[in-house]
A and B are shown apart, each in its own frame.
Chain A
Amino acid sequence: MSTHTGEGPDAGTRPAPFRPDLFAGAAFIVLGLAFAIGGAQYDVGSALRMGSGYVPIALGGTLTVLGLLVVVMAFRGGDPAIRDVVRPPVPWRRAGLLVAAILFFGFTVGGLGLGPTLLVTTFLAALAAPEVKPLRAALTAAGITALCLVVFVALLQLKLPLFGDWLGG
């Protein structure tokens, strides 16, 4: 084992686990267990006649094992492919805005119709841009909405209502 001697307070002890690998491994373990446990709710069957749960349990178990291996890798110095890569902080606010924009679209496009939904969705998304002012975001949103309506409704003739039931359209 190559412990870093004389380097910082960790000297002589095990180096701290490499966090990205720890997170990735944990994600695989959680998802693997979720699919395996969920799969156990269905008929498992036998090797001859596999039920609906057979394959998810087998794959979920495999993913859990692979996740454990990734966690082990985290304690052994980490994945060499990304160990020395600089990772900027996660843009939580921007990610939240984009997810909100997409969710808003999904929830309201049937009720509000394409026009109003797009306006709000693109406005929320535009707010995620670096150094953007609300007015500028609104202008961007209006421009993109107009473009989308021309492309999808006028040119491609998608059968999406411009205004939905909620607006009496």
Chain B
Amino acid sequence: MDGILLGLETALQPSNILICLLGVTLGTAVGVLPGIGPTATVALLLPITFEFDPVASLIMLAGIYYGAQYGGSTTAILLNLPGESSSVVTALDGHQMAKQGRAGPALATAALGSFFAGTVATVVLAMFAPPLAQLALKFGPADFFSIVVLGLIASIALASGSTVKALAMIVLGLLLGTIGQDQFTGVPRFTFGVRELYGGLDFVSLAVGLFGLAEILRNLESKQSSELVTRKVQGLWLTRDDFRRIRMPVLRGTVLGSALGVLPGGGHVLASFTSYSLEKRLSKEPKKFGTGVIEGVAAPESANNAAAQTSFIPLLSLGLPTHPVMALLVGAFIIQGIVPGPQVIEQEPELVWGLIASMWVGNLLLVLLNLPLIGIWVRMLTVPYNVLFPAIIAFASIGCYSIGLNAWDVFAIAGAGLLGYFLIRWGCEAAPLLLGFVLGPLLEENLRRAMIISRGDPSVFVTRPISASLLLLAAIIIVVAVLPSVRKKREVVFQGEDD
């Protein structure tokens, strides 16, 4: 609990509150724009945060992330356009509520449920991250290699679609991560003599290309420009009956989300789907789900937010991102000169706890400020796409260029965007690629270090108990993922998630 106090002390400094507010506001403003999901929002706004010192910059990032999630829910509810798979479920009943003129209560439910879930999950995070990090400090290179392998493998188990393609995307990401100077020998790899590539591909460019440009290209597949119809939002407040109805769904969603969020590879998607189906099963009138019942918004939004919070546990204790946004945060850590891993909590307590506490502050700011400002966010929705996407191109180019004044970072957006567009079109998901890219250097470093320590004996990975059990777990996940019976069940879970 000392940690939380230290964190609150950091996060509640006026300048940091201001930074957090700025992040939340920017995140909501961009996240609410149709066709820009939370991952793209964070990637687009990431360069701005590099202007600040490490603590402030990560606090701002956390604010952006929460704002973007909230903005994404707003778009899902008002326009039935979920920006990311985790808000698909919110759109089911949320949009129906909006059609019935109850958009206000739906948005308020999303914000209040998220706030409650975020508060609980912050405590869970504070309880579990430090002991896990303590444990991880005993890990050797072989164990770290295995934990990265497990993280990567687990990320495909929860993804929808083909397992072979997801594996291929991971490996492609790992390969793209080898571009640049070899950290052991200093030999530049795959740089074709271009000095600007010695530092490797820029991960912000990769993320902006894969999640921003590729999405724009997908939207431009249709011939006509579509007009979006927005509805007026009035009457934000929940009735006493609404409060009574959302109480238990929020609680159950929070518990479910906190537990599932720790899973690598997008536990928050699973959390929102599972909590929705749980509420449907428990409900006395399950048939009403999908017609605009408030429980159908409360449960998945709480689960989603709790999971978003507890997915910081593997990140802060092991340095392992479990989700594309977490991968972006790892990149931000590295740019700030902090190597993510179990030592971070010990070495940078102010930063870690400040980050955790400011997520909670960010949630609070969302409820206090963004909810009343909903009219402004709704107006953001009316920006026509013909204006929006050239602006995204401009913002992305300026943002990526401003990080290192490196033209190759701009070229990389175009390359990653085309690659992402075609691979997504051919049924390959982009998220495993980004995770592989961020974890690639970590994987190679620990592999090579482990082999040196074991004097070239590869059996070290199966003779060390920690490493062996992690690899066994990864093997089980692969076998289970390709088994036909499980595949069918997974399809049922992901049914309707055809974005």
Which residues from chain A sit less than 8 Å from chain B, CB to CB? Answer: 20-21, 23-24, 27-28, 31-32, 35, 38-39, 42-43, 46-52, 54-56, 59-60, 62-63, 66-67, 69-70, 73, 79, 81-82, 85, 87-91, 94-95, 98-99, 101-103, 105-107, 109-110, 114, 118, 121-122, 125-126, 128-132, 140-141, 143-145, 147-148, 152, 156, 158, 160
Contacts and interface: CB of A to CB of B under 8 A. Distances in A.
21 contacts: A24-B168, A27-B426, A28-B172, A47-B451, A51-B185, A52-B185, A54-B448, A79-B161, A91-B221, A95-B418, A99-B414, A102-B413, A114-B398, A126-B390, A128-B220, A131-B224, A140-B386, A141-B390, A144-B394, A147-B391, A160-B398
Contacts of A91: 217, 220-221
B387 interface: yes
Given A42-B187, A56-B178, A143 B387 contact: yes
B51 interface: yes
Interface of B: 48, 51, 160-162, 164-165, 167-168, 171-172, 174-175, 178, 182, 184-185, 187, 189-190, 213, 216-217, 220-225, 385-387, 389-391, 393-398, 401-402, 405, 407-408, 410-411, 413-414, 417-418, 421-423, 425-428, 444, 447-448, 451-452, 455-456, 458, 498
B162 A79 contact: yes
Contacts of A141: 390
A150 to B, nearest CB: 12
A70 B164 contact: yes
A81 B160 contact: yes
Nearest to A91: B220
B409 to A, nearest CB: 8
Which of B48, B394, B428 is most buried by chain A, counting CB atoms within 10 A of its CB? B394
Contacts of B165: 24, 70, 79
B222 A79 contact: no
B407 A107 contact: yes
Contact of A121 (B178, B397, B448): B397
B386 A50 contact: no
A129 B223 CA distance: 9
B51 A23 contact: no
Nearest to B186: A52
A130 B222 contact: yes
Contacts of B394: 118, 121-122, 125, 144-145, 148
A54 B48 CA distance: 37
B187 A125 contact: no
B175 A109 contact: no
B53 to A, nearest CB: 16
Contacts of B422: 23, 27
Contacts of B161: 79, 81-82
Given A79-B165, A98-B216, A148-B398, 16 more contacts: A20-B427, A24-B168, A32-B171, A35-B175, A42-B189, A56-B175, A56-B189, A62-B171, A85-B498, A95-B220, A98-B414, A121-B397, A130-B386, A131-B225, A144-B391, A160-B405
A88 B187 CA distance: 44
A47 B452 CA distance: 8
Nearest to A99: B414
Given A23-B426, A43-B185, A102 B410 contact: yes
